[in-house]
Structure 1
Amino acid sequence: MTRTPSNKPGRPADEEFLKQMLGRKKRLLVDRASQFGASGLPSAEQLAETVAFAPEDGNIWLCGQRMMLLQGSAFGAIRRELIEALGFDRARGLLTRIGWQAGARDAAQVSEQWPQGDHASLYSAGPRLHMLEGMVNVEVVRFEIDSGVGHFYSEFLWHNSLEDDEHIAAFGLGGEPACWMEIGYASGYASSLLGRLVVFREQECRAMGHQACRIVGKPADQWDDIDVDLAYLDPSDFLSRSTYASGIETTVADLKEPADSKQLVGISASFVAASQLLQRVAPTQATVLLTGESGVGKELFARTLHQASACRDMPLVALNCATLPENLVEAELFGVERGAFTGADRSRPGRFERAHGGTLFLDEIATLGLSAQSKILRALQEGEIERVGGTAPIKVNVRVIAATNVDLRREVEAGRFREDLFYRLNVFPIHLPPLRERREDIPLLMSYFLRTFSLRHGRQLAGFSTRLVNALLTYRFPGNIRELQNLIERGVIAAGDGEVMDVVHLAEAGASLMATAIGLTSQGRLSAAQRSEKTTGTPSASAEDDSVMGALAEPALESLQDFVSGRQRVLSTSLEEIELRLVRLAMERSGGNITAAAQMLGMSRAQVSYRLKGS
């Protein structure tokens, strides 16, 4: 029943993990008469601590994976309708494969989160996670693993199975086992963890009238009539169906990496959508407009797009428009002829000429003045430019990628951006989502940055603490990927070799991170970090950005918050002081760039300059 294995490559991180699992040859024999022991890595308490709730975002996390709460009766209704629509055999196969995927993904997350975990505890984490997910209560009868000789045997008793409860309620007792999804989960977890196909069978089941479900797992080649099980599992080369090689549809594998070897990392729906648009437009010559907040990776997307285009061997010239004074923009873009102005002692090409035949990336294009905008429009429409001080037109063949962190339509309405240039740039827009809308990518990005900075700084860390993972999964990330990157680099430097990176290694960022996490204790109770009296006393404050809450701690903005919330009837500070603080805050966020700060506040550059001079 198995199919020919897929030749498509999996994700590099998954291949490394698989090699790691297959390379383990340590001998392990375990025999326990009751439950799993409390010792070992990861322990039951550590697994329970991986549960994190982010109600403001509508997210629940378990071991770095997004979860959902679903009523048992709703699950039962879905299951019943599948059986009625597909028949028992086809519904059983579908639910078994769904369970397989869930088990394989849990195995991947556990092994990545605890790379130094011992064999018994890594394997025990599967049943423990199954219990945390509310599916079944697991009692261990016996399990044996000997990687050296390829021996595996596992036997459990399942009590209080949710799947059995719903099956019996809908169809009563019968002559066949009914824990289909749970069998798939056990098989997927063990197979993916051990690197070989392991199949579990129900020897007894409550749906058949037994007191508990007794399941036994062995390597597939040690079962008789294995084709019956494979008909339901349909593993199709189980490694290609597992998490370790199933990411082909959710990557941009056909896009070549930029020359600086920085990669696009992500599996979330919003990231995949942006990546697919990038893949679609890359081979064309269309102008691309990248939109999104600061720090979402617009320049990396632009470099990846250039690398995937037909002009990949030609220059990629980048310019951050916000870093240039207005009187130098045209010279930088279009070049200068000798003697055009004082100090122009030689002719030099601009960015358009240097990018001839290749790609010109214009970042923060909304900060350009109207004069420069009109000349860019002419260059795009006519395919020619004139240097400052020059008279002869120069032909240029350039593909333009523009990027902005503001809404250009609003800028057009406000008269700060030319409407005709907007339509010329907006040929193929791609919106890059903020990190808070692609939280599924945070564990992947954490691992990627950990490897990158460990190599750069010559460090060897043991991974991340559960507390840090939960904190980052629920943090608001005003600085997006750039902020996460900086946090991980800081942690790599601060933590010692062989040490687990924790919140304390992130210096002043640690307090604000811990204020966001709501977790679960090993006893199953919700546990939230202590918040300051001011934060917890204001219902609306919990939805605010951590950076904003930090700013409100200053007297001027704190007074404004008290006045707006109704805690004070009189505004106890001047509007000028509040306005100046907002201007300073925008200057901090823009790195001292007055034009960018003005864009943030909806003010003109002159207005911001005036207020700064007055301070």
Structure 2
Amino acid sequence: MTNTTSGKPGRATDEFLRHILSRQKCLIVDRASQFDPRGLPSAEQLAETVAFAPQDGSIWLCGQRMMLLQGAAFGAIRRELIEALGIDKARGLLTRIGWQAGARDAAQVSEQWPDGDHASLYSAGPRLHMLEGMVNVEVVRFEIDSDIGHFYSEFLWHNSLEAEQHIATYGLSNEPACWMEIGYASGYASSLLGRLVVFREQECRATGKHACRIIGKPAEEWEDLDADLAHLDAGDFLSRSTYTAGLETELAELPEMPDEPSMVGVSAAFVAATQLLERVAPTQATVLLTGESGVGKELFARTLHQASPRRNTPLVALNCATLPENLVEAELFGVERGAFTGAERSRPGRFERASGGTLFLDEIGTLSLSAQSKILRALQEGEIERVGGTTPIRVDVRVIAATNVDLRREVAEGRFREDLFYRLNVFPIHLPPLRERREDIPLLMSYFLRKFSARHGRQLAGISARLVNALLTYDFPGNIRELQNLIERGVIAAGDGEVMDVFHLSEGGTSPVSPPVGLTAEGRLSAPPEMTGRRSSTPATPERSSEVSRGASDEAPELASLLAFVSGREQALGTSLEEIERLLVQLALERSGGNITAAAQMLGMSRAQVSYRLKGK
């Protein structure tokens, strides 16, 4: 193996090789001569990792968001790249994109099946490539022996999408054209095996062959490796960090808090919120955290405090919604001895206790107008007076406020002081609900699994693909707090050595989440979940259907009429569509905790459509 790439110094190449292999898992294999279709993961198990969530426009594969794209559109993108960059640079770019995709799939497969059959873990790459619609893979020869460091793979690729689009645009070529697919195979094998594996296309359909024939070997067994590494472009690859981007996303230099929950997430919405946090943390600005209940506002506040210059001073938290009206002032500002019956001694309030540090006021929108006016004075003047006191007390407090209501609307309706709103809204940060950061759900599931397994002394084998997909497509009205609750319940319900599945989350025989829309063994979409979004673990029978109809009749006659009409027991609907719509909207609002946007997503409607029907009630 040579030490230089075309036009690149050897040092960059060596650094490149260390870079791409530094964090990969070594696959230990004694001997395998062919892929065993009965191994773990099987093709059927890989198919089970596919989930469709049309209600929010998402497709998931092995916990990664995917995209369906017309083959002709892919061909158009490819043509534009070639015309804009030239064929060599376009080939390098597509090879690197393929490498990243293969490396990501290898990382997901290793995590999903840590005890998987070794040969099947490797063969999952070609199978995933087929699931993703790129190519049909036929195994010609496969040999791997870790004892002697031997590796050899030979495949036939049939119906290659990349070759097909190249022919459609340029006709037959003198050179192989499956650049992105070669990058995928090399990235998957190198990531999984922990050593640089290079695949080359010996024959290609784009050159007029009936199929593409590819061979993969360790890099040192190939001659003239410079050309292969040139397509990966070591210097450019390292400078842009294209390989690691997306595989690992860290909260840049925010300190970890001992004995505190961690900030976990890689989604765009989460990263945007954390970047705002990083920007405001070193300042003294007042911060307003907004977002639904359960999104992690208190954790963000604690992280912000730890990242600020006040990290070594007190962080005092107060949930304003838990305070009775007659105790708000005393709790915030303190009490002088004898101020009222029972005040036998003086004590400081939250503002005094937080002086020099940070005061976190959660659910600030629940405070009365009287309490709001006193907080406003404390923020404006930097001083307070205890209840029953006459001497002003200077305080140096940074306030972080949080609310799950729209304070602008509260101001408009006279329930929140406008001047206090502007005093708090110096630097607002909106924390997204979990349904807007679904890419974080597998990470959060793994984090909570480790946390609660340690807490409860359990040793689970992992989480099933079916459960991952079910939670990826669930609406989560309770956000991260609800996910945490579900995983803790699953840890307790599942036995040691068992894989956590959907049925482990059941509440009184009914699972709060439904199996997602996925693929059957025949490659067709499975049946969608029930319209309500919740599915009983008990199979449906005629007797049970009658029981459901009777229950619906007792609680909602409109639903009973609909069920009777759909089942054919009644020839007429027996109720108006408006009444059925009203019932569905009411049910969705109840399940979303009054959140109109979430209710609209449950029903497959726009927010405006739900609002219109609410006005017509």
Whether these two folds match at TM > 0.5 is yes
CA contact (8 A) 2:285 2:426 kept: yes
Whether the 8 Å contact between 2:493 and 2:504 is mirrored in structure 1 is yes
The residue aligned with 1:370 is 369
User: 1:298-347: CA deviations, max 9, x gaps?
Assistant: 01111110010001010011111101111111111111111111111111
Give the conservation status (yes or no) of the 8 Å contact 1:101–1:242. no
145-154 or 405-414: which moved more?
145-154
CA distance in 2, matches of 1:154, 1:585: 52
Residues 557 and 435 of structure 1: is their aligned pair in 2 closer, same or farther, counting only changes over 3 Å? Answer: farther
Q: Which amino acid aligns with 1:232?
A: H
Contact preservation (8 Å) 1:471, 1:513: no
Map of 1:173 onto structure 2: 172
Distance 2:247 2:18 in 1: 8
Distance 1:570 1:76 in 2: 46
Q: CA deviation at 1:251?
A: 2.5
CA distance, structure 2, for counterparts of residue 554 and residue 343 of structure 1: 54
Which letter maps to 2:556?
E
Change in CA separation of 1:571 and 1:6 when aligned onto 2, cut-off 3 Å: closer
Q: For residues 52-73 of structure 1, give each alpha carbon's deviation from its aligned partner in whole angstroms, at most 9, with x where no partner exists.
A: 1110100011111111110000
Note if contact 1:336-1:388 (Cα within 8 Å) is conserved in structure 2.
yes
Worse-matched range after superposition: 493-502 or 525-534: 525-534
The correspondence for 1:568, drawn from 554, 566, 575, is: 575
What is the aligned partner in structure 2 of residue 156 from structure 1? 155
Q: Hey, what does 1:55 align to over in structure 2?
A: 54
Partner in structure 2 of residue 558 of structure 1: 556
Alignment partners' CA distance in 1, 2:523 and 2:240: 33
**Aligned partners of 1:240 and 1:246 also within 8 Å:** no
1:261 and 2:264 matched: no
> Equivalent residue for 1:347?
346
Partner SS, residue 196 of structure 1? coil
- Supply the distance in 2 between the matched residues of 1:514 and 1:583 (Cα, whole angstroms): 16
Between 563-572 and 457-466, the greater mean CA deviation after superposition: 563-572
Query: What is the rounded CA distance, in whole Å, between the counterparts of 1:467 and 1:514 in structure 2?
Result: 11
Q: Secondary structure at the match of 1:256?
A: coil
**Equivalent residue letter for 2:155:** F
Return the letter of the residue paired with 2:370: S
**Residues 106 and 125, structure 2, Cα contact 8 Å, conserved in 1:** yes
CA contact (8 A) 2:29 2:144 kept: no
Name the counterpart of 1:129: 128
Q: Which amino acid aligns with 1:522?
A: A
Contact (CA 8 Å) 2:517, 2:529: kept in 1 or not?
no
Structure 1 residue 235, shift from structure 2 partner: 4.9
2:439 match: secondary structure: helix
Q: Which amino acid aligns with 2:340?
A: F
SS of alignment partner, residue 527 of structure 1:
coil
Asked if the contact 2:477/2:592 (under 8 Å) is kept, the reply is no
* Maintained 8 Å contact 2:513/2:534: no
Look up the match of 1:328: 327
Residues 76 and 163, structure 1, Cα contact 8 Å, conserved in 2: yes
Superposition map of 1:221-370 within 5 A: 221-235=220-234, 245-247=244-246, 250-370=249-369
* Residue 473, structure 1, aligned to residue 472, structure 2: yes
Check the 8 A contact 1:105/1:242 in 2, yes or no: no
Displacement, 1:559? 5.5
Using a 3 Å threshold, how does the CA distance of structure 1 residues 249 and 50 change in structure 2: closer, same or farther? closer
Structure 2: how far apart are the matches of 1:320 and 1:273?
Answer: 26
Q: TM-score, normalised by structure 2?
A: 0.84
For 1:409, the equivalent position in structure 2 comes to 408
Deviation at 1:535, TM superposition (A): 9.1
Cα distance per residue 1:445-489 (max 9 Å; x no partner)? 111111111111111111111211111010010000010011001
TM-score (structure 1 length as normaliser): 0.84
The CA deviation at 1:277 is 0.4
- Cα offset for 1:150? 2.8
**Cα distance in 1 for residues equivalent to 2:533 and 2:385:** 59
Q: Which amino acid in structure 2 is aligned with residue 252 of structure 1?
A: L
> Does the CA-based 8 Å contact 1:335-1:350 persist in structure 2?
yes
Change (3 A) 1:379 1:468: same
For the residues of structure 2 that align with 1:341 and 1:112, how far apart are their CA atoms?
Answer: 61
Name the SS of the counterpart of 2:467 in structure 1: helix
Query: Aligned AA for 1:28?
Result: R
Q: Indicate the residue corresponding to 1:219 in structure 2.
A: 218
Cα distance per residue 1:116-157 (max 9 Å; x no partner)? 111101101000000000000000111222233332211111
Residue pair 1:9, 1:248 contacting (<8 A) in 2 also:
no
Q: Distance in 1 between matches of 2:131 and 2:205?
A: 21
Structure 1 residues 78 and 528: CA distance shift in structure 2, 3 A? same
- More displaced stretch, 511-520 vs 184-193: 511-520
Check the 8 A contact 1:136/1:162 in 2, yes or no.
yes
Whichever residue aligns with residue 308 of structure 2, its letter is S
Distance 1:269 1:6, change over 3 A: farther
| 1:430 alignment partner in structure 2 | 429
Aligned residues: percent identity?
75
Mapped contact 2:477–2:591 kept (Cα < 8 A): no
Shift of 1:238: 8.4
Is residue 157–residue 212 contact of structure 2 (8 Å, CA) maintained in 1? yes
Quote the Cα distance in structure 1 between the aligned partners of 2:163 and 2:294: 48
Aligned-partner Cα distance in 1 for 2:416–2:562: 33
Deviation by residue 1:91-138 (Cα, 9 ceiling, x = unmatched): 000111111111111111111111111110110100000000000000
Q: Are the equivalent residues in 2 in contact too, given 1:316–1:361 (CA < 8 A)?
A: yes
For residues 91 and 330 of structure 1, the distance between their equivalents in structure 2, rounded to whole angstroms, comes to 67
Contact 2:28/2:118 (8 A) holds in 1: no
Q: Which amino acid in 1 is paired with 2:231? A: Y
1:522 corresponds to 2:521: yes
Deviation at 1:494, TM superposition (A): 0.8
Give the match for residue 203 of structure 2.
Answer: 204
Match of 1:392 in 2: 391
Q: Distance in 1 between matches of 2:533 and 2:444?
A: 33
Cα 1:117–1:439 shift into 2, 3 Å? same
How far off is 1:258 after superposition? 2.6
Change (3 A) 1:42 1:25: closer
Compared CA separation, residues 534 and 513, structure 1 to 2 (3 A): closer
Q: Decide whether the 8 Å contact of 1:563 with 1:571 is kept in 2.
A: no
Structure 1: where are the runs of 5+ without partners?
537-549, 588-615
For structure 2, list consecutive stretches of 5 or more residues without a partner in the other structure: 6-11, 536-547, 564-572, 595-617
AA aligned to 2:524 is R
Q: Which range moved further: 396-405 or 247-256?
A: 247-256
> Contact conserved, 1:96 with 1:180, CA < 8 A, in 2?
yes
Equivalent residue of 2:518, what SS? Answer: strand
Alignment-mate amino acid for residue 29 of structure 1? A
Aligned to 1:459: 458
RMSD: 3.3
Q: Is residue 467–residue 515 contact of structure 2 (8 Å, CA) maintained in 1? A: no
**Distance across 2 between alignment mates of 1:222 and 1:510:** 58
Closer, same or farther: CA 419–257 of 1 in aligned 2, 3 Å: same
1:495 aligns with 2:499: no
Letter in 2 for 1:190: A
1:158 Cα deviation after fit: 0.4
Give the residue type in structure 2 aligned to 1:558: A
Return the offset for 1:37.
3.0
How many Å apart are 1:529 and its aligned residue? 5.0
In 2: Cα distance, 1:75 partner to 1:223 partner: 31
2:361–2:399 Cα contact (<8 Å) kept = yes
Q: Following TM superposition, by how much is the alpha carbon of 1:239 offset from its aligned partner in structure 2, in angstroms?
A: 10
**Aligned-partner Cα distance in 2 for 1:73–1:584:** 42
Asked if 1:27 is matched to 2:30, the reply is yes
